Structure 1
Amino acid sequence: MRLPKPSCRPTHLALVTSLLLSPLLAQAAEGMWTLDNPPTALMRQQLGFAPDAAWLGKAMRGSARLAGGCSGSFVSPQGLVLTNHHCVAECVEQLSSADKDFMKNGFLARTRDEEKACPAMEVNRLEAITDVTDQVKAATRGREGEAFTKAFNAIRAQLTASCVGADSKTQRCDLVDLYHGGQYKLYRYHRFQDVRLAFAPEQSIAFFGGDPDNFNFPRYDLDMGLLRVYENGQPAAVKDFFPVNTQGPAAGEAVFVTGHPGSTQRTLTVAQLEQLRAQRLPETLVDMSEYRGRLAQYRTQGEEQARMANAELFYVENGIKVLRGQLAALNEASLMSAKRADEARLRAFVARQPALKPSAGAWDAIAQALQNYRSYRTLNNQLEGGRAFNSQLFGIARTLVRGAAERSKPDADRLPEFAEAGLPAVEAQLFSPAPVYPAFEKFKLSYSLEKMREHLGADAPVVKQVLGKDSPEQLAARLVDGSQLADIAQRKALWEGGMAAVRQSQDPFIRLALALDEQSRALRQRYEREVESVIQKNSERVAQARFAMTGPKVYPDATFTLRLSYGKVEGWKEGDAQVPPFTTLGGTYERATGAEPFALPASWLAARDKLDQTKPFNLVSTNDIIGGNSGSPMLNARGELVGLVFDGNIHSIGGAYWFETARNRTVAVNAAAIAEAMDKIYGAGTLLKEMQGR
């Protein structure tokens, strides 16, 4: 979702109190819980209700994951999926053109024949969770460094291949690391690759208020989009779905969010948090801030430039607010003080337990690995991390080059992203008909090449190798103009032809990816050997110690896997003022100014007198969520969809590191507003009836 959010200064007392408790021992509505380990007793105690096994099973199968990084839910037995507009925006942009701008004007398929295939979208539905901790730990026991990485990759390939079996076109299996190595679970998904757009409102109402309102409340956004998944050319038959309750929730009502939060860092070591605070966050913030300025300038060149760069600018502006907020949180003295105190308590506990002796040096080992990484971190980020090559075409070229090399190896020896079980997903992205815009490619690539030269220095060997005598602009133009990788047939020929075809190719992006591959791989292997494997192994030891001290009833950090969050519809106190939990449709018109980003689309202006302006529009609840929860369903105790999660308030910015009970809030579109808008503004009554089970 549009989470994490901007800077805030949490109440010191509330923050310190929560952090002095062991991290991830839930208080109040805290926690993003796996569905096979729900906090039943806590929910019953705090809400007077706890979902049973049947409720949780339906919730698991009714929830959806958009492979690009969002959540969603099935809302009809005919495969209709509800998510956020900003989660379908890439599809909407790819389907748009200079003549038909669906981002600006919206899109509605009045019949299923009018639904349009999204060029690069996949929807996953979780089918089963299997504990494979013993198998993974047995395979990696006693191994360190490169040996640990090889053993881990081998057991991952073995487990995922066995899980997928012969159904790789419709099944996906992921090995999920929970509690930073404390547990390993195998998640099996059903894959829907034929995904079509059914409805998306205008961006001006889906993101009403723009960047000024982003991560704030009150809000007035219809941030929704409807997709439909198909199988064998027909709408997929879905047994488990969430019917939409068009009354929405009441104030104080218990609500549940099922979704796929991307990443939290609530159990990182102090050394890891300090590395984020001192290096990664501030450096990335500077780069993104400069890139935002360049994008804004590019968008002024014309309507097509503005259309092509629209989504990129949204993600960059959103990311800047995220980084600012996270950095502000880590600069909060009380936060780091409490984290240090918690770590000291855990280390003291380990020192008193002879059985935990292997864990005693884990924190120092992690700190040393991070220190060792500093000497080549920038080079690794530029090359293996791809920051120097912000280009869709370069990404295609690297996939072709790496794929040709990896597919010739035994499955256990491959890079994980090219394991046999995952190749259908790789191919779906590689052969996607998503458009490539040459002018925008040149702009992005020339900028990233310029930053590579700045970060590494003009005399760095790799800079000389890449640029030669060219300027970044000259090289970007030569690469893009000379490439044929925008042609899907060319990609298929290179993929099917293997390494022989790749080495014979004269495509300039292929030649560049080949020239850099050996050095990039060496950097990756060094990182995996000296940093990643050390952190993974020692994080397991920290997790083992924490389990011993706190017991098993804790929730793991977020990993873009399905989680359950519980809470209530409830506002909060801001200073001396009470923030109510709802906004209304009428408030939207009061907030509108007629100028961007507070300009309403023509459809809303025309329908003003038709609407019940007292209907609730957006709402807040106490659920614990983070980025990746975009599009998550908000459910009532009966399993009905009463809201659509799209954001959080500014006080949830620290959600990456802690949960602040008093003011951390989830922001959602009220189902009542969804129904009112679809019926009276967009004439989407057929879809609305389907969502209501009628």
Structure 2
Amino acid sequence: MRRNLFVFSAAFCLLLLTLVQSAWKPWEEGMFPLSEVHKLDLQKAGLKISTREVYNPRGTSLIDALVNVGGCTGSFVSAEGLIISNHHCAFSAVQLASTPENDYLNKGFVARNREEEIEARGLTCRITDSYEDVSARVLNAVAQVSDPASRLKLINDVTKNIVAEAEKNDPTIKAEVSEMFIGKSYVLFRYKTIQDVRLVYVPNRQIGEFGGETDNWVWPRHTGDFSFMRAYVAPDGSSAKYAKENVPYKPKKFLRVNPKGTSEEDFVFILGYPGKTFRHRPAQFVAYQEKSVLPYIAGLYEFQNGVMEKAGAADKTTELKLATRIKRNANVMKNYQGKLQGLKRMDLVAKKKQEDAGLARYINGNAALKAKYGTLMADIDNLYKLINSDADRDIWLTQIYSSTSLLQVARNINTFKTALTAKPAAEKQAFFDEQLPKLKSTLESNYESYDLETDKAIFKRMLEDASAFNLTQRVDAAARISNRGSTVKDVVDRYVETTLGISKLNNPSYVYSTLLASPKSVENYTDGILLFEQDIARQVAELKTEKDRREGLLNKLMGDYVNVREKFLQKNFVPDANSTLRLTYGHVRGYRPADATYMRPYTSIKGIIQKGAGGHPDFAYPEQIRTLWEAKDFGAYAKKDLADVPVAFLYNMDTTGGNSGSPVLNAFGELVGVNFDRAYGATINDYAWNESYSRSIGVDIRYVLWVAEKIDKADFLIREMGVKNTL
């Protein structure tokens, strides 16, 4: 009897412990929307301030220090609009500011006063002003609509009206309606935009990109992936484009920097703008990604980078011009390779199929659910069979314009030309004069990374790929070319060399001064690449009806899928990330990627020296780092148990693309690091998250401050952030 009582008591205590441990973490993973923050017991997890100090819809909070800058996250760290983000987030702006004479991209940049700060071309800041759930308004409008394409069109029309209404009510904001759960919930976000962003401090590339692609998506990391920018507005506080008379923006809130950093198992949290995740999708979606999307794009980007690196090796100007594109491609390529490895290692498709089979049994075992969702799983399967039937062509069409810069130029000129031709004769000049500045600005962006020989090589690859598709996936423009000769390669080579070689679009000066001189000159000009682009655009337009029908059907099916899956699993889902502001939290923590292997959560300057000893170019570093390290000149930034300056650290938070530059905050809401990457095993985060392997990586604030003070003598920034007062 006593033994039975003991067994029962032990079991009861274990159950109670399990319930208590899970009570404050209602979801296995979490990129929590602002609307969910109040449901979390963050204090029990380790937060030392009130949740309202993190997010307060009726007052100022940490959220107000966050910005979306160039597709990354950044945060204000001073009352004068100073922003900290990642080195790779400022990379494109630094590249555009660089010349062979002023190579800021490789040597770094420090503006020691406001007058020296330079325009961060292409970058703007977006600040979340407020949000509002508009799901009822959107879904009520389509409640009686059964046709998939009509339903999707009506959803798009309603959301456009909501956006227009919001912007009319407040002309100072830009509005967006974001789909939180596909086909299920919609939120209106209101944003303030800052158009004038300037570079303040970017470290030497050997610091900001230490490890290069060798270390990308890998732990341990030793990358000083940080940069500083500043937001400017007009003297009256309104948003304005870059102008000398603009003044630093005064944020409602800026983050306090804690130069003491963190220790292992400290509570930390991140606020940021994560991109897209796909965790609430069925097995067929994951299979489509694994079989088609990920391998094709990874292989294509690997080929493109080989071509661009070869072109850059022969000419410094070309190297600088192509640097941003190479970096972006390489990042996506390795990420996709990691995802493929993770999907296969986890056998996620098989696990999803097993879960979906259980979901089907659950639906069929309940009369009410069967009446409502009885065909759901079969409908999903049939839709993905259609999607897979022309997957090669669909993916190719998503990549063709970004692969060939001159084709982007052709598309923009053709679009302008079509709109111009449609105007009555009396209106052509006015339309031309009004739209020309916008067109020129877009074309300038197209030409920024244009290199003729690179375009030729990549265009040839794309045409050869298209020629290999089966007849049901025919790309009309490519098929017309490949039918002109005996071998595909010979025909493609001849076509590309001729078409791109003689096109006057190769010459930006000709385009700006001659082709775009008048409405008549635009309407009269044509060449092979313009005709090719017209063929592509024509086929895309022809395919749009079916594509819209599929997207409308998917929208409805995924809404139903999420609804019934929540019931089946008896859990609340966190909406997939969609570039809206989110919170995630966890602890500074290492992990075990393989048997008998433990990855500690901190790296140090010593690791930079060790990696550099092998002579690999990705591990080159400024000699000053070794000199300071050997002298143990760590200033106030050493971590006691390391006897060194910590460079990067790990934490078990839930992040994805878009979280680059996100502030890593301690229990008191103080800045202790800047998020920049994930461990290789965590590249699969977009599809699945698990505490055992999902680790994110940040640059430690102590390394940021050490580099700023000791390497680049940027003490003025340390003082502006108020750090000297807390050391």
Judged with a 3 Å threshold, the aligned counterparts in structure 2 of structure 1 residues 586 and 477 are, in CA distance, closer, same or farther, namely: same
Q: Which runs of 5+ in 1 are unaligned?
A: 1-24, 410-422
> What is the match of residue 369 of structure 1?
383
C-alpha deviation, 1:335, in angstroms? 2.9
| 507 and 630 in structure 1: CA distance in 2 versus 1, 3 angstrom threshold | farther
State the one-letter code of the partner of 1:533: G
1:195-206 to structure 2, matched below 5 A, reads 195-206=197-208
The separation in 2 between residues aligned to 1:114 and 1:480, in whole angstroms, is 38
Offset at 1:449? Answer: 4.1
Which residue of the other structure, out of 612, 622, 628, is the alignment partner of 1:601?
622
The answer to which structure, 1 or 2, has the higher relative contact order (CA under 8 A, 6+ apart) is 1
- Does residue 453 (structure 1) correspond to residue 454 (structure 2)? The answer is no
CA contact (8 A) 1:208 1:599 kept: yes
For each residue in 1:466-485, what CA deviation from the matched residue of structure 2 results, as whole angstroms up to 9, or x when unmatched?
A: 79874323323333655548
Q: 1:524, 1:514 → 2: CA distance?
A: 15
Name 2:110's counterpart in structure 1. 108
Moved more, 269-278 or 509-518: 509-518
Task: Evaluate the alpha carbon distance shift between residue 589 and residue 407 of structure 1 in structure 2; reply closer, same or farther with a 3 A threshold.
Answer: farther
- Give the C-alpha shift of residue 520 in structure 1: 2.0
Match of 2:292 among 279, 283, 295: 279
Question: More deviation in 675-684 or 333-342?
Answer: 333-342
Per-residue CA distance 1:119-176 (angstroms, 9 max, x = gap): 21121111111101011112222232321232122112111111222766x5222211
Counterpart in 2 of 1:625?
A: 655
Instruction: Tell me the SS of whatever aligns to 2:37.
Output: coil
**1:325-336 matches, cutoff 5 A:** 325-332=338-345, 334-336=347-349
Counterpart selection for 1:296 from 309, 314, 317: 309
Q: 1:485 to 1:457 in 2, by over 3 A?
A: farther
Structure 2 match to 1:420: none
Contact 2:515 2:522 in 1 (8 A): no
Q: Which of residues 141, 152, 156 is equivalent to 1:153?
A: 156
Change beyond 3 A, Cα 1:559–1:333: same
2:440 & 2:68 partners in 1: Cα distance? 16
Name the SS of the counterpart of 1:342 in structure 2: helix
Aligned alpha-carbon RMSD (Å): 3.4
Name the aligned partner's letter for residue 377 of structure 2: W
Cα distance in 1 for residues equivalent to 2:106 and 2:257 = 27
Q: Does 1:308 align with 2:310?
A: no
Q: Distance in 2 between matches of 1:133 and 1:658?
A: 26
Matched, 1:65 2:76: no
What corresponds to 2:134 in structure 1? 132
Q: Could you say if the C-alpha distance between residues 140 and 485 of structure 1 is closer, same or farther in structure 2, counting changes exceeding 3 Å? A: farther
Aligned counterpart in structure 1 of residue 580 of structure 2, from 561, 564, 572: 561
Question: 1:296-341 deviations in whole A, cap 9, x for unaligned?
Answer: 3333323333333333222222222211221122223653333223
- CA separation of 1:555/1:374 partners in 2, compared to 1, >3 Å: closer, same or farther? closer
Q: How many residues align?
A: 648
* TM-score, length of structure 1 as denominator length: 0.85
Q: What pairs with 1:502-541 in structure 2 (closer than 5 Å)?
A: 503=523, 506=526, 512-529=532-549, 531-541=550-560
2:619 partner SS = coil
Q: Are the aligned partners of 2:608 and 2:619 in contact in 1 as well (CA < 8 Å)?
A: no
Post-superposition shift, 1:635? 0.8
Which shows bigger deviation, 209-218 or 289-298?
Answer: 289-298
Q: Distance in 1 between matches of 2:48 and 2:516?
A: 53
Residue 279 of structure 1 aligns to a residue in which SS? Answer: helix
CA contact (8 A) 2:514 2:521 kept: no
Return the letter of the residue paired with 2:622: P
SS of the equivalent of 1:332 reads helix
Is 614-623 or 158-167 further displaced after alignment? 158-167
My pick for the range that moved more, 84-93 or 514-523, is: 514-523
Match of 1:473 in 2: 497
TM-superposed CA distance for 1:572, in Å, is 1.9
Letter in 1 for 2:161: Q
Aligned partner of 1:644 in structure 2 is 674
Amino acid at match of 1:620: L
Q: Pick the structure with greater CA Rg.
A: 2
Partner amino acid for 1:43? L
- Counterparts of residues 247-286 of structure 1 (less than 5 Å): 247-286=260-299
SS in 1 for 2:79: coil
**Structure 2 segments unaligned to the other structure (5+ residues):** 1-23, 235-245, 423-433, 485-490, 639-643
Q: 1:229 aligns with which of 228, 231, 234?
A: 231
1:661 aligned partner, one-letter code: E
Q: 1:583 aligns with which of 592, 603, 628?
A: 603
Asked whether the equivalents of residues 148 and 533 of structure 1 are also in contact (C-alpha less than 8 Å), the reply is yes
Contact 1:482–1:508 under 8 Å retained in 2: no
Whole-Å separation in 2 of the counterparts to 1:293 and 1:463: 23
The answer to whether the aligner puts 1:611 opposite 2:622 as a matched pair is: no
Q: 2: CA distance between counterparts of 1:26 and 1:445? A: 53
Indicate the residue corresponding to 1:684 in structure 2: 714
Shift of 1:549: 4.4
Residue 118 of structure 1 deviates from its aligned partner by 1.8
Superposed displacement of residue 203, structure 1: 1.5
Identity %: 22
Q: Deviations over 1:566-594 (max 9, x none)?
A: 01111123532432221222332233225
Q: Deviations over 1:256-287 (max 9, x none)?
A: 11112112121111111111122222222332
Q: Would you say the 8 A contact 2:477–2:535 is kept in 1? A: no
* Paired residues of 1:359 and 1:538 also in contact (CA < 8 A): no
Q: Please give the alpha-carbon distance, in whole angstroms, between the structure 1 residues aligned to 2:406 and 2:100.
A: 22
Alignment match, 1:54: 53
TM-score using structure 2 length: 0.81
Matching of residue 440 in structure 1 with residue 451 in structure 2: yes
C-alpha distance in 2 between matches for 1:39 and 1:270: 32
Q: Which residue of the other structure, out of 366, 369, 372, is the alignment partner of 1:358?
A: 372
Paired residues of 1:80 and 1:226 also in contact (CA < 8 A): yes
Partner of 2:253 in structure 1?
240
Match of 2:393 among 379, 400, 407: 379
